[in-house]
């Protein structure tokens, strides 16, 4: 029985590393099609900056997915973070405060998301959808619907626009956060508990895991990551728009779902999400270089997510 379950080794290999392999194939294909502009060091650095926002926000989505919930407010929280930070910087508050205050508020928003879901046993889907709508409205109230760009101090742009040793600070932040959350999820008791709650809530409760507390924390951290993403976007652009982060939300879940198909099969995991976000970013970059229109990029990205999830389901069904 044990042997039969383990399956033929290569099936398991494909299931575990299939998505990574697909990513490498995509890179090879673009490199052949466009050796001069795609396969260059400059473009690699460029891609690392382009995916940094998606990776950060998708890390948060992964945390919430690991406890078996969804947070659909991440896009609105990101927009909120950017707008709030920009407004504070314009109002003359110190930059560090302009960055930290929205993060603290986001922590509270995420915690409230979690509290509503756990206290009243509501679907996180609906709760966070409503929270996102509320924040979307507030974002317009804060900005009057216009982009915030006048009188933004230079220091506000530092993190978003500076390069260290030729590599964007954003890319460093992305890598650092990925490493930190990988460590949290695989080597700390907190991560183990999150996975336990997502795996079986009832059994986790019997085993003494404080289910509600851990879920609330996952939601809070997710919102923090979303707000940070929005702040860094504003820093990169030197301006903040009330819907700047909204579009990231769908890609964030696409990345997390792609990630579930790699490394730990069927389980949201940090490196998987990183790979998922990278694949989406590389596709966008490569297709743009090949002058494929943006709407076709969306079609292709969507198809790849569906294909990956089907592959994974099929692989499992046979096991």
Which one of residues 119, 187, 313, 316 is an interface residue with other proteins (CB under 8 A)? 187
CA distance 182 to 167: 22
What tokens appear for 285 in the block? 């970059």
User: Which one of residues 78, 196, 233, 283 is an interface residue with other proteins (CB under 8 A)?
Assistant: 196
Q: Which of 40, 133, 162, 200 binds other proteins (CB under 8 A)?
A: 200
- From 30-38, 142-150, 201-209, 283-291, span contacting other proteins (CB under 8 A): 201-209
Q: State the minimum distance, in angstroms, from the CB of residue 266 to other proteins.
A: 7
- Cα gap 9→18, rounded to integer Å: 13
Task: Work out which of 41, 91, 165, 189 binds other proteins, going by CB under 8 A.
Answer: 189
Question: Does the protein bind other proteins through residue 2 (CB under 8 A)?
Answer: yes
Nearest distance in Å: CB 1, other proteins: 7
**What residues numbered 5-34 form the site for other proteins, per CB under 8 A?**
5-6
Asked whether position 1 contacts other proteins by CB under 8 A, the answer is yes
- Among 9, 92, 96, 202, contact with other proteins (rule: CB under 8 A): 202
What CA–CA distance (Å, rounded) separates 15 from 11? 6
Residues 253-272 that bind other proteins (CB under 8 A): 266-267
CA distances from 194 to 2, 206, 226 (A): 28, 15, 19
- The residues with which 168 forms a beta bridge, in sequence order, are 163
Least distance from other proteins to the Cβ atom of residue 12, Å: 13
Six-digit token pair at 201?
């809530």
Q: What are phi and psi of 83, to 5 degrees?
A: -65, -45
Contact 201, 55 (CB under 8 A): no
- How crowded is the C-beta side of 135, counted as CA atoms within 13 Å? 34
- Interface residue with other proteins, options 119, 210, 313, 316 (CB under 8 A): 210
Residue 316 as a binder of other proteins (CB under 8 A): the answer is no
Short-list 107, 15, 28, 57, CA closest to 286: 28
Helix (H, G, I), strand (E, B) or coil at 309: helix
**Closest CB 317 distance from other proteins, rounded Å:** 15
In this structure, are residues 71 and 49 in contact, taking their beta carbons and an 8 Å threshold?
A: no
Q: Which residues bind other proteins (CB under 8 A)?
A: 1-2, 5-6, 183, 187-189, 192-193, 195-196, 199-200, 202-210, 266-267
């Amino acid at each position: 029985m044990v042997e039969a379950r383990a399956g033929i080794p290569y099936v398991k290999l494909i299931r575990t590393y299939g998505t990574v392999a697909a990513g490498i194939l995509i890179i090879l294909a673009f490199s052949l099609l466009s050796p001069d502009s795609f396969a260059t060091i400059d473009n690699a650095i460029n891609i690392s900056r382009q995916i940094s926002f998606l990776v950060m926000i998708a890390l948060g989505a992964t945390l919430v997915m690991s406890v078996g919930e969804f947070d659909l407010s991440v896009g609105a929280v990101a927009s909120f973070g950017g707008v709030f930070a920009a407004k504070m910087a314009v109002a003359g508050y110190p930059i560090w405060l302009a960055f930290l205050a929205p993060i603290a508020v986001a922590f509270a928003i995420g915690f409230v998301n979690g509290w509503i879901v756990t206290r009243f046993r509501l679907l996180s889907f609906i709760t966070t959808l409503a929270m996102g709508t509320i924040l979307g409205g507030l974002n317009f109230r804060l900005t009057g619907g216009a982009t915030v760009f006048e009188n933004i101090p230079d220091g506000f742009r530092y993190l978003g626009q500076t390069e260290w040793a030729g590599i964007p600070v954003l890319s460093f932040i992305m890598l650092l956060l990925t490493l930190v959350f990988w460590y949290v999820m695989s080597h700390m008791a907190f991560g183990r508990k999150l996975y336990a709650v997502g795996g079986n809530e009832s059994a986790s409760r019997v085993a003494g895991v404080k289910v509600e507390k851990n879920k609330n924390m996952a939601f809070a951290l997710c919102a923090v990551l979303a707000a940070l993403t929005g702040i860094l976007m504003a820093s990169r652009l030197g301006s903040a728009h009330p819907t700047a982060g909204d579009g990231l939300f769908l890609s964030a879940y696409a990345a997390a779902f792609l990630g579930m198909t790699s490394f730990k099969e069927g389980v949201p995991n940090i490196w998987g999400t990183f790979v998922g976000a990278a694949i989406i970013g590389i596709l966008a970059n490569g297709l743009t270089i090949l002058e494929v229109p943006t709407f076709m990029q969306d079609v292709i990205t969507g198809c790849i997510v569906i294909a990956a999830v089907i592959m994974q389901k099929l692989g499992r069904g046979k096991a």
